[in-house]
Structure 1
Amino acid sequence: MDPLAPLLDLADVAPALAAARDRVDAAMRHRALRRHGGQVAAEVSLRAAVASAALEGHAYDLDDVRAGTVTDPVLQGALRVAEGVPGLVDLWPRAPRQVLAKLHVLAARGVVTPDDLGRLTAGADRIDALAALVAGNEQTPPLLLAAVVHAELITLRPFAGPAGVVARAAARLTLIGRGLDPRGLVAADVGHRDREPEYVGAAGAYATGTPDGVRSWLRHYAAAVTVAADEITRIGDGVLATV
């Protein structure tokens, strides 16, 4: 049985997640992906990293990052994480704690002391419970599972430094590994950045543990994924305009 199934009974949650999935499915049919999918994926990865760093308080102009002129260690860590995500997809459902540690090493190098890299600083019991939820879970719908993974990690902030970068990457791994986003094109980070006040508020609401708080977060997550789906379309349109 799906341990998270009761969350779908919260008001408006199931329709919001279903609508977000439909928007993703529509974006995946963009004709730019037929011949230029790699170019679209590279741009999505870059925008996801820039958005994730910005959500940690390290915002930079996308063109400056693209030009390679930004050396900020949090931004560089977010770029390393984005590059490393594809290689961790298969390991994520088998060894979630190992993957989280690896993501932190990528994200926090140059930001925290070497001794803190990959080491939990809080919430070990709850991380164990989250790992058990992720490992081998084929029952929970991908969007719902990714939303809960993300919320748990940003609530706990179990690593020193840019723990939010780790949380957002773990959610992306969930969407990719569970088949909703097999090509890694859904940059939900962009949606969170686009709706940052809502992102912060909904995360705080989730942390209360109340049904309304959890509902608020899940509806936000659906909205962020919808923004990410529209971003695929915008990038695809831009690629086609240049070929």
Structure 2
Amino acid sequence: MSTNASSASSDPSADPLAVLASLPGVAESVDSVRKAVDRVYGHRVMRRRSTEVTSEAALRGARGSAALSGADWALEEVRRRTDFSGDPEARTVGAALRLTAEAGQLLSVWRQSPLRVLARLHLVAAGGAGEDDTAGRPRLPGEPVAEPLIEAPLPRAEEVGGRLDGLAALLVSGSAAPTPVIAAVVHGELLALRPFGSYNGLVARAAERIVLIGGGLDPKSICPAEVGHAEQGRAAYAAAFEGYLSGTPEGMAGWIAHCARSAELGVRESTAVCEALQRGAA
């Protein structure tokens, strides 16, 4: 299956994402996750019960994303609960579940207008959380940002719009970069910008999921990278993100490798689900 977005140009200066794919170790990370995805897609359970695997991957991905945002609930608690309107942790888990459910519905819009999708994702995350008119729009000067785990300096609100426009232009114009590279950059840039007043981490990881699905690596959405991010731990996530923020070749390559490894761990999770379904244990 393809792991490349469409190429808009063979000129490296016009395709900075493709340049990142040439960094040391990135090709190996991309190849490793691609092979892992191909293996799980070839599992015999996928021929008959892929919808069940997709549903389970969505649940586990939402749990993982919420854990990174400070709501580290057991999977069975996430599965059992029906009311997520109470305390902040419950609202975080509810937001993660809503985002995971929404992501697959936005693929066609993402290809044409990533910014519309990001606004929609934040609206979905904020739904039912008592948010005000800040939901669904980039923050304004002076507005606070609540983002667990990420303590990096916050770009000024005046910078956010221009950098979001630049990211969207890159995505719409297309890139020859492998899908895991594009997904990692989208994830990292949204974490760096924290464009909204809340739920930026959840939105960034949902956007990563959209790229992995829409880019052809994981069209059935059965390889939740959020599971891998959570499994590697919050400290490793923050350290890899520091590499992205550094902008150095080593830092960027490390972040891309971390994200690719997270997707690979998501594959492992779904492989275990396939095995459980095959045994009749799930």
* Gap runs ≥5 in structure 2: 1-8, 10-14, 85-89, 140-156
**Which residue of structure 1 aligns with residue 72 of structure 2?**
59
Give the partner amino acid of 1:21. Answer: R
**Which residue of structure 1 aligns with residue 205 of structure 2?**
168
> Deviation at 1:240?
1.4
Q: Find 1:150's aligned residue among 164, 187, 195.
A: 187
Does residue 1:186 correspond to 2:223, yes or no?
yes
TM (norm. structure 2) is: 0.83
Give the partner amino acid of 2:275. Answer: D
TM (norm. structure 1) is: 0.95
Does residue 1:79 correspond to 2:97, yes or no?
yes
Does residue 1:195 correspond to 2:208, yes or no?
no
Where 1:120 maps in the other structure, the secondary structure is coil
* Segment drifting more, 60-69 vs 37-46: 60-69
**Which residue of structure 2 aligns with residue 39 of structure 1?**
52
Q: Find 1:216's aligned residue among 242, 251, 254.
A: 254
Contact 1:112 1:161 in 2 (8 A): no
**Which residue of structure 2 aligns with residue 239 of structure 1?**
277
* Gap runs ≥5 in structure 1: none
Give the partner amino acid of 1:90. Answer: S
CA deviations 1:146-198 (Å, max 9, x no partner) are: 11111111111111111111001111111111111111111000000001222
Where 2:104 maps in the other structure, the secondary structure is helix
Where 1:114 maps in the other structure, the secondary structure is coil
Contact 2:223 2:264 in 1 (8 A): no
Give the partner amino acid of 2:170. Answer: L
Does residue 1:102 correspond to 2:120, yes or no?
yes
Runs (4+) of structure 1 moved beyond 4 Å? none
Give the partner amino acid of 2:176. Answer: Q
Question: Superposition pairs for residues 113-124 of structure 1, below 5 Å?
Answer: 113-121=131-139, 122=157, 123-124=160-161
Where 2:270 maps in the other structure, the secondary structure is helix
Q: Find 1:88's aligned residue among 106, 112, 132.
A: 106
Give the partner amino acid of 1:82. Answer: T
**Which residue of structure 1 aligns with residue 166 of structure 2?**
129
**Which residue of structure 1 aligns with residue 26 of structure 2?**
13
Larger % of helix: which? Answer: 1
* Segment drifting more, 204-213 vs 43-52: 204-213
Aligned CA-pair RMSD = 1.4
Contact 1:58 1:75 in 2 (8 A): yes
Structure showing greater radius of gyration is 2
| Percent identity for Structure 1 against Structure 2 | 39
Counterparts of 1:117 and 1:188, CA distance in 2: 25
Counterparts of 1:133 and 1:116, CA distance in 2: 26
Aligned CA distance change for structure 1 residues 9 and 139 (closer, same or farther; 3 Å): closer
Where 1:140 maps in the other structure, the secondary structure is coil
Contact 1:111 1:161 in 2 (8 A): no
* Segment drifting more, 30-39 vs 66-75: 66-75
Give the partner amino acid of 1:42. Answer: S
> Deviation at 1:112?
5.9
Contact 1:81 1:103 in 2 (8 A): yes
Give the partner amino acid of 1:85. Answer: A
Counterparts of 2:201 and 2:130, CA distance in 1: 14
> Deviation at 1:225?
1.3
